[in-house]
Amino acid sequence: MNTTASTDPAWGDTGTATAVTATAVTTTAARESPPPGNPADRSIKRQRLLDILNASGRDSLLLTSNTALTWYLDGSRVHISLAGDPIAAMLVDRHGDHLVTFNNEAARIAAEELPDGVALHSVPWHGQLHAAAAMLAPGGSPLAESDVTAELRAARQRFLPRESARYARLCADAAAAMTDVLSEATPETTEFGVASALAARIVAMGAEPLVLLCSGAGRSGFRHPLPTHAPIGRRAMAVVCARRNGLVANVTRWVRFDAGIAAELEAEARIAAVEADIFDATVPGARLNGVFTEIQEAYLRHGFGADQWTLHHQGGPAGYAGRDPRTTHGTSDEVVLNQTFTWNPSGPGVKIEDTVQLTESGITVLSMDPRWPTVSVNGLQRPVTLQL
């Protein structure tokens, strides 16, 4: 295993250690684009992990998931395939941070993704990434993520000001992409046409489309409608989950080309009322399983029936994962200030979904575009179906 921040593409194959830290990187790309990671935010995040180590009586922790890595590195890209495992692992110990990657990835990471103060190590592209990172730990036996799952989630919950601002920009951009695409749609536009137009805009804004869904009028009964070649017809739903700097924005929007039918309009109003009740339950000190109970009761209150919650997941905390975690009866995490959420109540032919943050003034919707039509629900502007 090599310890290096060299930009020589041949490094990592000789088995020699050069002990050069990330601060030694001087490539043109690094000078023009400073490495990601705000030093003040990273210092707070590091202290949160040291607190986990102190509570566990251990000296090191190995981070291996995309969620944990992008949070701790404050937005670095540690993936190649959207469907693949991260191409890096992070060993956090009491003396510093060590990022281990494959030799064919290391030059790019050193030049473009490595925050200051993080030592970069490489293994051959055919090597064992996690085993190599674990070898850096005192005694060679670090805590695994699975040992402290709940503690790591708690460390991610309370957003810092700079990542809150970064998340708000991403969510607003994703909402704007929805407006751009759906305002140009026609009944003849296919579901794939909507999805591909969304993908183009998401990529153009520097993000990755993790989820793209679309259902036309004939498929509105599906809660997760992968797009098809069918025209969308008189009414359609689009869903996007877009990731940038590790953060994931989640947005659902509807469009229609007529005035709508009475039952449809009434169901849209009722699902917005369910969401309003969920927002009212999302307060500091609440437990997620308590919010989940409120979700079940809200469906009953607004005429959707006792089993509606069983037909689709209801969302939960958001941020460096689409849901962190999905809320169920078994999730007892405490709700805290500055935490972010995406709740997504749904019913037959209706769904509402935005990314929001719990602030001192209450729920703030992050994924709103001022061009999109809204209506006030319990004092909060909520999206309605775009009528073209």
Q: What is the pLDDT of residues 297-340, one digit of tens each?
A: 999 999 999 999 999 999 999 999 999 999 999 999 999 999 99
- Rounded to whole angstroms, what are the CA distances from 175 to 246, 269, 339? 18, 21, 20
State whether residue 241 is helix, strand or coil: strand
DSSP H or E run through 351: strand 350-351
Q: What is the pLDDT of residue 366?
A: 98
Q: What is the pLDDT of residue 115?
A: 94
DSSP 224: S
Spatial neighbors of 229 by CB under 8 A, at least 6 apart, are 190, 191, 192
Quick one: average pLDDT of 206-230? 97
Lookup result for tokens 């281990």: 100
Task: Tell me the domains of the chain and their CATH numbers.
Answer: 2-157 (3.40.350), 161-387 (3.90.230.10)
Q: What is the DSSP string of 87-126?
A: SEEEEEETTEEEEEEEHHHHHHIIIII--TTEEEEEE-TT
Q: What is the pLDDT of residues 114-154, one digit of tens each?
A: 999 999 999 999 999 999 999 999 888 999 999 999 999 99
Q: Is 132 exposed, middle or buried (0-12, 13-18, 19+ CB in 10 A)?
A: buried
Quick one: average pLDDT of 186-213? 98
Q: What is the pLDDT of residues 256-300, one digit of tens each?
A: 999 999 999 999 999 999 999 999 999 999 999 999 999 999 999
| % of the chain with per-residue pLDDT over 70 | 91
Structure tokens belonging to residue 212: 């793209």
Of the candidates 356, 374, 376, the one whose C-alpha atom is nearest the C-alpha of residue 365 is 356
For the cut 80, the answer to whether the pLDDT of residue 8 exceeds it is no
Q: What is the pLDDT of residue 194?
A: 98
Q: What is the pLDDT of residues 11-44, one digit of tens each?
A: 233 232 222 223 233 223 333 444 567 889 999 9
Q: What is the pLDDT of residue 9?
A: 27
Q: Which amino acid is at 182?
A: L
Q: What is the pLDDT of residues 64-99, one digit of tens each?
A: 999 999 999 999 999 999 999 999 999 999 999 999
